């Protein structure tokens, strides 16, 4: 449990860092803005801070506490409320866990609240921002956009590394199709759908912010907003592209492997189809009838052997001519 607080005096430019106790400093100084960061805070204290101290809207608090709320932006009478969702890459390609962030933004305060673990990289960028006078000087909405940018920039590298993998699968597939490809592509399709959905919700948040009209987010931030928007738009577009390619590869793999299996079965069946008439012929002369004139002919055995060879060659020639071999 951590409560990290930065209080910044917009007149004197003084930055004070500490814990919950700094709320008093902020209250006392009308020029001060505060950034309070809540990490795994005990529910009782958390509700006391959000409900009683800051008096956020009950529906916003409800959303904050719900697990896996979809990313959103909602304007309340005295603050703007965000839910954002980052991803922390796992070891496998495209594996990830979500990192949910709630933000309450108003001109004099920004309250951030984490659900789940932060990645070490974003924790570092976070820490840097908390002690950056120049960032706090640009106001709470600038901080909010910077945090959103940190969060959303986790998506692109996760998705981009897939291109190479997909091309490797395509190349490998035509050499030696293997069953694990199917499993892997199915997994990618599922993960890409989830990532695209997450990115789409957040892209929509930045579309609204870019359009203007959201309080406390001035037009001067439009390039930063556009930067975050473009990043998410690209993630969504790549998810669609790679998802389509994965689908095509999956279909291609299945076709190819059913095709190869078919060719094998064909050759095996041709082997059978050639020997079955020959075996029948051998069976004929294995019969024990008393009166079978051929049996006593001198070269009958060799004649039959020759006839069998002729049948076999004839069938082979027939199969070849019809391009079955």
Site for Mg ion in 211-270 (CB under 5 A): 230, 233, 236-237, 241, 243-244, 247-248
When asked if residue 59 is in the footprint of its own copies (CB under 8 A), the reply is yes
Residue closer to its own copies, measured from CB, 77 or 120: 77
Stretch of 11-19, 113-121, 135-143, 277-285 lying at the interface with its own copies (CB under 8 A): 277-285
When asked if residue 218 is in the footprint of its own copies (CB under 8 A), the reply is no
Scanning residues 17 to 56, which ones bind its own copies (CB under 8 A)? none
Is 72:203 a contact under the CB 8 Å cutoff?
Answer: no
Residue closer to its own copies, measured from CB, 15 or 304: 304
Give one DSSP letter per residue of 211-231, joined into a string. H--STT--GGGHHHHHHHHHH
Identify the CA nearest to 177 among candidates 259, 269, 268: 259
Relative orientation angle of helices 140-152 and 120-130, to the nearest 10 degrees = 170
When asked if residue 224 is in the footprint of its own copies (CB under 8 A), the reply is yes
When asked if residue 161 is in the footprint of its own copies (CB under 8 A), the reply is no
Strand partners, 16: 7
When asked if residue 134 is in the footprint of its own copies (CB under 8 A), the reply is no
Which one among 255, 309, 310, 313 touches its own copies, defined by CB under 8 A? 255
Is 103:84 a contact under the CB 8 Å cutoff?
Answer: yes
Query: How many Cβ atoms sit within 10 Å of the Cβ of residue 245?
Result: 19
Strand partners, 73: 82
Stretch of 33-41, 70-78, 108-116, 122-130 lying at the interface with its own copies (CB under 8 A): 70-78
Selection from its own copies, Mg ion, none that 116 binds (CB < 5 to 8 A by kind) is: none
Is 298:307 a contact under the CB 8 Å cutoff?
Answer: no
């Amino acid at each position: 449990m951590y409560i990290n607080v930065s209080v910044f005096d917009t007149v004197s430019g003084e930055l004070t860092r500490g814990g919950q106790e700094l709320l008093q400093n902020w209250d006392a100084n009308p020029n001060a803005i505060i950034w309070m960061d809540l990490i795994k805070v005990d529910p009782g204290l958390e509700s006391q801070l959000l409900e009683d101290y800051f008096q956020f809207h009950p529906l916003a608090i409800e959303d904050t506490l719900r697990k896996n709320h979809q990313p959103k932006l909602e304007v309340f009478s005295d603050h703007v409320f965000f839910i954002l969702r980052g991803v922390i890459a796992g070891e496998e390609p495209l594996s990830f866990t979500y990192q949910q962030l709630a933000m309450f933004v108003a001109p004099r305060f920004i309250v951030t609240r984490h659900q789940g673990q932060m990645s070490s990289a974003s924790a570092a960028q976070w820490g840097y921002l908390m002690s950056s006078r120049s960032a706090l000087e640009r106001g709470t909405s600038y901080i909010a956009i910077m945090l959103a940018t940190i969060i959303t920039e986790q998506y692109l590298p996760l998705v981009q590394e897939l291109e190479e993998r997909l091309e490797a699968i395509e190349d490998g597939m035509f050499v030696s199709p293997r069953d694990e490809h199917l499993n892997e592509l199915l997994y990618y399709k599922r993960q890409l759908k989830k990532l695209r959905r997450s990115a789409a919700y957040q892209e929509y948040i930045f579309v609204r912010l870019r359009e203007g009209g959201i309080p406390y987010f001035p037009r001067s931030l439009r390039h930063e907003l556009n930067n975050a928007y473009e990043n998410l738009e690209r993630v969504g577009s790549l998810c669609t592209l790679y998802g389509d390619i994965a689908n095509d590869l999956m279909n291609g793999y299945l076709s190819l492997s059913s095709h190869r299996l078919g060719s094998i079965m064909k050759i095996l069946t041709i082997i059978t189809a050639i020997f079955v008439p020959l075996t029948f012929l051998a069976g004929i002369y294995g019969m024990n009838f008393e009166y079978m004139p051929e049996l006593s002919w001198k070269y009958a055995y060799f004649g039959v052997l020759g006839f069998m060879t002729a049948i076999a060659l004839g069938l082979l020639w027939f199969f070849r001519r019809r391009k079955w071999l």
